[in-house]
């Protein structure tokens, strides 16, 4: 409990300092905070407002903490519930690493090294503090590997079910759990075929596969059906105009963002995240041969499948090739190192034998030591190289903070990202508008809504009457329309889709009132006053 508390407090404190003091954050984190906020604090609060473009768990766990903003407004205005959820999940994932070490009978010293290799890795620290969903992804995938390792050694049904529950919960966090589930399924099939009696091999394999995948399949179907009922889209992350496919298409059309599909870039980012990932896979294969146990393949199957998906998506330009997408390489190496220790025997060996260890455990100790002394510095350097920090606000902001001479604040606007959004929110708050007076698509930036002291003045995308208000704004009491620059938006917003020329001329239904530049000097927001209705609106 002390370890969990210390890590959670440390991660949360770092995240709070970065966003409050230095304005360093990632838009994805605040989007998930806003999704949670819409369920409680919008003018049309309902649970479905959590959204269906991104998987819901990181937002859902924030909902109980948001009412604290009535006593501490910063909880909402700075999106600190996001930092809290990522801190809790990342601290929890470190405890899972510790639990794996205990299960394998790793001594106190090397167990502490393993936890330090994981919990103090600079990328783990940063994304434990970030408010994003990487921490929840790591927690669920490590949880799955923990129970797969237990099942491999014990063959207990409850352990296999535990791995399945981890996959099901993980899918509600990130869709990267789909390849993880495929890897886990392949591992379960392999172990079952080799371990089951010949007469019942296929039957036992099928039963084990059902146990492992039932929670995952239930989560996939349940979330898909819910999305279809509410929005008409089965898989919003793919089908939605705001989803990953739409954002990648927009980036490709502009010829920008981080879509370099060069194979060497993929290799550089993978091994920049963890230089010993290839060695860990080879070591896992050697353990299978030496021990005649498939346990070492569990982390390779789960984490390796996610890494393969990230590398393929990057190489084929199907997804963004951001450095953080290779984050699971870190737990892969650490867990493979821990599996080098055999499970704790009963009774335990004498102290002298525990100190000497086995040849395999010495391999694991060497891998842990190399990861701590070499891998951690390599990750720290790699995360701040210009190629790996492209379009990553957290890393770019930290570059300016840690190396102000090389990256002066005047040239790096990533430490002033929310300035324009907060200005717009303050301006609108000062107008003392009634509820539902300002329409804007929160996909483009949730910061205006989050920082406003009057969130109910907005008609936001999750409101059930948003489309009706967009079609006939004045008829629905909308006085102003706030629109972001379509040239810099990650995907086309709802206002631009409905009125393609709105940014330029108000589409004949509104008059430009205010323009606000972003910290990069590019015009970011335009506020239009809705004209009096003409005959077609009467």
Query: In this structure, what CATH number is given to the domain that contains residue 471?
Result: 3.40.190
The pLDDT confidence band at residue 534, using thresholds 50, 70 and 90, is low
| Domain co-membership, 493 together with 379 | no
| Domain co-membership, 502 together with 378 | no
| Domain co-membership, 250 together with 360 | yes
As a whole number of angstroms, the distance between CA 307 and CA 331 comes to 12
Q: At 25, list the tokens.
A: 């954050």
CB–CB of 343/284 below 8 Å? Answer: no
Residue that wins the pLDDT comparison between 392 and 92: 92
pLDDT at res. 246: 66
Q: At 184, list the tokens.
A: 């886990």
Within-domain flag for 504: yes
The pLDDT confidence band at residue 415, using thresholds 50, 70 and 90, is confident
| Domain co-membership, 470 together with 425 | yes
347 cis-preceded (ω within 30 degrees of 0): yes
Query: Mean pLDDT, to the nearest integer, of 479-489?
Result: 91
pLDDT at res. 305: 97
Question: Which residue bears the tokens 């906020």?
Answer: 37
| Domain co-membership, 312 together with 359 | yes
pLDDT at res. 85: 97
CB–CB of 484/527 below 8 Å? Answer: no
Instruction: Write the DSSP string, 466-494.
Output: HHHHHHSTGGGT--EEEEE-TTT-SS--H
Q: Is residue 483 pLDDT above 90, yes or no?
A: yes
| Domain co-membership, 426 together with 505 | yes
CB–CB of 141/331 below 8 Å? Answer: yes
Q: Is residue 269 pLDDT above 80, yes or no?
A: yes
As a whole number of angstroms, the distance between CA 113 and CA 98 comes to 10
Phi/psi of residue 356, each to 5°? Answer: -70, -40
At residue 185, the 3 state secondary structure works out as: helix
Within-domain flag for 365: yes
pLDDT at res. 357: 64
| Domain co-membership, 260 together with 366 | yes
| Cα end-to-end distance, the chain, whole Å | 64
The pLDDT confidence band at residue 253, using thresholds 50, 70 and 90, is low
CB–CB of 464/423 below 8 Å? Answer: no
Cα–Cα nearest to 441, from 429, 464, 459, 453? 459
| Domain co-membership, 454 together with 374 | no
Within-domain flag for 358: yes
As a whole number of angstroms, the distance between CA 197 and CA 195 comes to 7
The pLDDT confidence band at residue 352, using thresholds 50, 70 and 90, is very low
pLDDT tens readout for residues 126-140: 999 999 999 999 999
Within-domain flag for 132: no
As a whole number of angstroms, the distance between CA 349 and CA 354 comes to 6
Helices (H), 42-72: 57-60
pLDDT at res. 386: 74
| Domain co-membership, 377 together with 423 | no
Instruction: Write the DSSP string, 270-318.
Output: HHHH-TTHHHHHHHHHHHHHHH---TTHHHHHHHHHHHHHHHHHHHTTS
221 cis-preceded (ω within 30 degrees of 0): no
| Domain co-membership, 470 together with 364 | no
| Domain co-membership, 446 together with 526 | yes
Output Rg (C-alpha) for the chain, integer angstroms.
25
Within-domain flag for 126: no
Residue that wins the pLDDT comparison between 181 and 348: 181
Q: Which residues pair with 480 in a beta bridge?
A: 438, 529
Neighbours of 410 (CB within 10 A): 9
Cα–Cα nearest to 463, from 485, 484, 440? 440
Domain, as residue range, for 372:
241-346+354-383
Number of domains in the chain: 2
Cα–Cα nearest to 131, from 172, 81, 68? 81
Burial of 264 (0-12, 13-18, 19+ CB in 10 A): exposed
The pLDDT confidence band at residue 388, using thresholds 50, 70 and 90, is confident
Q: At 463, list the tokens.
A: 């409101």
Question: ∠ CA(134), CA(135), CA(140), 5° rounding?
Answer: 100
pLDDT tens readout for residues 172-206: 999 889 999 999 999 999 999 998 888 788 999 99
| Domain co-membership, 318 together with 443 | no
Query: Mean pLDDT, to the nearest integer, of 417-430?
Result: 92
Within-domain flag for 505: yes
| Backbone torsion region of residue 255, taken as left when φ is above 0, otherwise alpha when ψ lies between -120 and 50, otherwise beta | left
Within-domain flag for 213: no
Residues near 115 by beta carbon (within 8 Å), at least 6 away in sequence: 3, 94, 97, 98, 101
Cα–Cα nearest to 446, from 248, 273, 242? 242
């Amino acid at each position: 409990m002390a370890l969990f508390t210390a890590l959670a407090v440390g991660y949360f404190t770092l995240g709070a300092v970065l966003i409050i003091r230095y304005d360093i954050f990632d838009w994805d984190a605040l989007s998930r905070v806003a999704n949670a906020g819409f369920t409680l604090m919008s003018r049309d609060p309902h649970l479905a407002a959590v959204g269906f473009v991104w998987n819901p768990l990181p937002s859902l766990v924030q909902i109980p903490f948001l009412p604290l903003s009535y006593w501490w407004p910063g909880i909402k205005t700075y999106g600190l519930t996001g930092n809290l959820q990522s801190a809790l999940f990342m601290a929890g994932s470190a405890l899972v690493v510790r639990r794996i070490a205990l299960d394998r009978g790793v001594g106190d010293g090397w167990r502490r090294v393993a936890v330090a290799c994981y919990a103090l890795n600079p990328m783990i620290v940063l994304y434990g503090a970030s408010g994003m969903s990487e921490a929840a992804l790591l927690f669920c995938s490590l949880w799955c590997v923990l129970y797969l390792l237990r099942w491999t050694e014990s063959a207990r049904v409850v352990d296999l079910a535990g791995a399945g529950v981890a996959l099901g919960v993980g899918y509600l966090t990130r869709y990267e759990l789909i390849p993880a589930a495929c890897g886990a399924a392949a591992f379960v099939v392999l172990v079952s075929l080799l371990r089951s009696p010949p007469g019942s091999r296929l039957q036992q394999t099928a039963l084990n596969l059902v146990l492992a995948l039932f929670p995952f399949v239930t989560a996939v179907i349940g979330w898909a059906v819910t999305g279809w009922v509410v929005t008409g889209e089965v898989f919003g992350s793919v089908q939605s105009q705001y989803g990953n496919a739409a954002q990648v298409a927009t980036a490709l059309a502009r010829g920008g963002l981080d879509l370099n599909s060069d194979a060497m870039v993929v290799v550089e980012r993978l091994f920049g995240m963890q230089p010993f990932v290839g060695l860990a896979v080879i070591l896992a294969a050697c353990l299978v041969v030496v021990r005649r146990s498939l346990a070492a393949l569990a982390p390779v199957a789960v984490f390796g499948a996610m890494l393969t998906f990230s590398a393929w998506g990057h190489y084929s330009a199907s997804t963004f090739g951001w450095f953080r997408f290779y984050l699971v390489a870190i737990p892969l190496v650490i867990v493979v190192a821990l599996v080098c220790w055999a499970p704790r025997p009963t009774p335990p060996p004498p102290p002298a034998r525990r100190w000497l260890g086995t040849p395999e455990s010495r391999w694991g100790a060497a891998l842990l030591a190399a990861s701590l002394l070499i891998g951690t510095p390599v990750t720290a350097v790699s995360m701040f190289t210009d190629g790996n920090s492209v379009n990553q606000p957290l890393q770019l902001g930290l570059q300016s903070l840690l190396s102000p001479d090389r990256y002066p604040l005047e040239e790096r606007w990533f430490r002033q990202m929310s300035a324009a959004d907060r200005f717009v929110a303050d301006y609108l708050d000062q107008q003392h508008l009634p509820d539902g007076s300002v329409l804007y698509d929160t996909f483009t930036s949730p910061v205006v809504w989050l920082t406003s002291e009057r969130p109910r003045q907005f008609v936001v995308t999750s409101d059930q009457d948003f489309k009706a208000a967009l079609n006939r704004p004045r008829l629905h009491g909308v006085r102003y329309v706030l629109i972001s620059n379509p040239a810099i938006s990650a995907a086309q917003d709802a206002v631009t889709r409905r009125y393609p020329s709105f940014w330029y001329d108000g589409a004949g239904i509104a008059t430009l009132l205010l323009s606000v530049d972003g910290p990069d000097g590019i015009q970011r927001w335009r506020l239009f006053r809705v004209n009096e209705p003409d005959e077609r609106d009467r």
